[in-house]
Amino acid sequence: MKSKRVKIISLLLLLGFSGALYIGCNLRSSSYQEIDYVIGVSQANMREPWRLVLMNELNEEISKHSNIRLITTDATSNSEKQKKDVKKLLDYGIDLLIVSPSDVKEMTPVISEVYDQIPVIVMDKAVEGFDYTLFIGPDNKLIGRQAGEDIIKHLGKDKGAILELCGSQLSQASKDKSSGFESIISKYPNVHIKRVRVESELRDEAEDMVLSMGEQLKDIDIIFAHNDYMALGAYNAINKLGYDIKIVGIDGFNGENDGINLVKQGKIDATIACSTGGKEAIQYAVDILNKVSGVPKQVILRCHSVNQKNVTAYVENQNKPRNEYKEIIDVGYSQLGSESAWRLANTRSIKEAAKDLGINLIYEDADQSQEKQIAAIRKFIDMKVDVIVISPVVDNGWNEILQEAKDAGIPVLLSDRKVEVEDDSLYSTYIGADFIEEGRRAMRWIKENVPAEEEAVNILEIQGTLEASPTVERKQGFEEILNNNSGYEIVYSKGGDYTYAGGKEVIEEYMKTHEWDIDAIFAHNDDMALGAIKALEAYEIEPGKDVKIVSVDGTRKAFEAMIEGKLNCVVECSPLLGPQLMKAIQDLMDGKELPLRIITDEKIYTQDEAKDVLSSRKY
């Protein structure tokens, strides 16, 4: 049970604490308050309008919790000041820190130190590494790509000139928007981008910048601004100069001079609307403070392309009343199969969580067949279930069936594995792991523990099911680190379908045609690593000693193999997705929009810790 703590806050004391300290609105009425928790918010600056919207969201959501107070500091875009702000907040005794870093590099070590003491929610820009409790923010590269695709449609031809109004050169968000945008536009050799930077990212500076371009504007077909304030500045400028140029912005907030209204009024043609995540930050902060289990590691917010054709529908959808209360929610769930210990734990977790919450789960096992999964989804559509969940066996080939579900008005959630679709509005959210990071972690371990000396380190890779997202992405992350380190080479790579038998066969095949020359094995899951261990032993090669083995998942059997010294390292991938999945389903049924991706928290384990950790493993 949560231990109730009473804090007496003196308003005078707080006001004397720092000139740039703001106290949540629910504290103003009285000098003395009984509270359970204090959340510190270290804001990079209060100058960008986007951050003011974020602050409003944080304050609005915190006002629903009379036992929690918010203290906010403004770093005025100065990292040295932000470091001091964070220290002051800690000295004050905050229970949780929400931080939006002004400079990721500068703030990473500070945030990491705070994370040793209290939970930290990082907003907007991810710091380096994973020393935080939760990251909430948009995927700015994706926003850039979305804008690029929209702009190509707005151009209506495969040639033209774009004026890109970028934000501050210090802003990682702006850099990411540009690189995502470029990745789309570069596919069209006759479409050119002219980039200018508006350091302040504000409307009037953007207006001055565009005004100063004068005659050059006559060659521009479309303006892409990194926020709607700059988009409005651009509109004011071209209006004064008498040019007719299309404009696309980013943010899509709802205020009078914000993106949605600008689209409605025809001042800009489109905006990429994305929430600030303020509301979600407080909701997760409350869960963290109350020690609710299953808080994810990353929440990536969903963005929408809003243009003059769909703006009315978008607004209606945002304001739609909560769904009718349904006592029992019917969920059709297509699980891909039962190939591994991980999968069995995953199925168990989902079934148990549904049962705990009284959700009616209609379960279908596809036995590794995409055809069976598609048939199951069609059956769920015919049954008119409330929600469909799929763990897709492979990435591709889902456009048509997901469109059928969308046309039937049934939301689809992706659990564990991803899909490659043309339109990401075909699914509501993805809940699962960061497979790329898992691959990186595996290779980092090899790099640190199997040093490359005179001869190259030979690596044998046992991939999972080919064309499945964990396989593709683990390989991608692994190779990313490998390619940055000379002296390491993948000399053999085969798929083992995530099964014990598959892992064993890969080694047996290798032995038939090669002299043993492998230094390290990267198995994409534990079952395949265990199968490989069995095969190696038959050839009298000592697993864990003659060859180092790293695998992914973190099953009990893998921990036992580490204790026996046969497996060297395990990169965790949690199958316990049931509680988060069911929470997302309930949120969806309550009319909430789900984030684009909800990423689980995972660790890495080695032989040293295996014994201590084994008893607490849940799968």
As measured in angstroms, the least distance from the Cβ of 328 to ligand AHR is 29
Indicate the residue among 342 and 445 with the shorter CB distance to ligand AHR. Answer: 342
Residues 6+ apart with CB under 8 A from 374: 401
The contact mask relative to ligand AHR for 504-543 (x = CB under 6 A, - = no) is ---------------------x------------------
Is 395 among the residues that bind ligand AHR (CB under 6 A)? Answer: no
List 96, 482, 552, 570, residue binding ligand AHR (CB under 6 A): 552
List 139, 164, 207, 553, residue binding ligand AHR (CB under 6 A): 553
Choose the binding region for ligand AHR from 70-78, 278-286, 335-343, 356-364 (rule: CB under 6 A).
335-343
List 88, 203, 302, 417, residue binding ligand AHR (CB under 6 A): 417
Choose the binding region for ligand AHR from 3-11, 33-41, 336-344, 581-589 (rule: CB under 6 A).
336-344
Positive or negative, the CA dihedral 363, 364, 370, 376 is negative
Structure tokens at 614: 């084994």
Is 343 among the residues that bind ligand AHR (CB under 6 A)? Answer: yes
Choose the binding region for ligand AHR from 143-151, 280-288, 340-348, 395-403 (rule: CB under 6 A).
340-348
Rounded CA separation 484/368 (Å): 35
CA distances from 47 to 55, 421, 540 (A): 11, 38, 67
List 164, 280, 339, 395, residue binding ligand AHR (CB under 6 A): 339
Is 342 among the residues that bind ligand AHR (CB under 6 A)? Answer: yes
As measured in angstroms, the least distance from the Cβ of 510 to ligand AHR is 21
Indicate the residue among 276 and 340 with the shorter CB distance to ligand AHR. Answer: 340
Is 233 among the residues that bind ligand AHR (CB under 6 A)? Answer: no
Is 441 among the residues that bind ligand AHR (CB under 6 A)? Answer: no
Rounded CA separation 546/563 (Å): 16
Is 600 among the residues that bind ligand AHR (CB under 6 A)? Answer: no
Choose the binding region for ligand AHR from 189-197, 339-347, 486-494, 511-519 (rule: CB under 6 A).
339-347
Rounded CA separation 438/420 (Å): 20
Rounded CA separation 602/593 (Å): 25
Rounded CA separation 291/355 (Å): 22
Choose the binding region for ligand AHR from 121-129, 199-207, 338-346, 349-357 (rule: CB under 6 A).
338-346
The pairing of strands 360-365 and 330-335 is parallel
Residues 6+ apart with CB under 8 A from 595: 280, 299, 300, 301, 302, 429
Helix axes 104-115, 79-92, angle to 10 degrees: 10
List 48, 85, 416, 572, residue binding ligand AHR (CB under 6 A): 416
Chain length of the chain: 619
Rounded CA separation 430/536 (Å): 37
Is 498 among the residues that bind ligand AHR (CB under 6 A)? Answer: yes
Residue 352: closest CA among 578, 619, 585, 616: 578
Is 602 among the residues that bind ligand AHR (CB under 6 A)? Answer: no
91's enclosing H/E stretch is helix 79-92
As measured in angstroms, the least distance from the Cβ of 413 to ligand AHR is 15
Q: Which residue has the tokens 């199997």?
A: 450
As measured in angstroms, the least distance from the Cβ of 565 to ligand AHR is 22
Structure tokens at 102: 């002004």
- Rule CB under 6 A: which residues touch ligand AHR? 339-340, 342-343, 416-417, 470, 498, 525, 552-553, 573
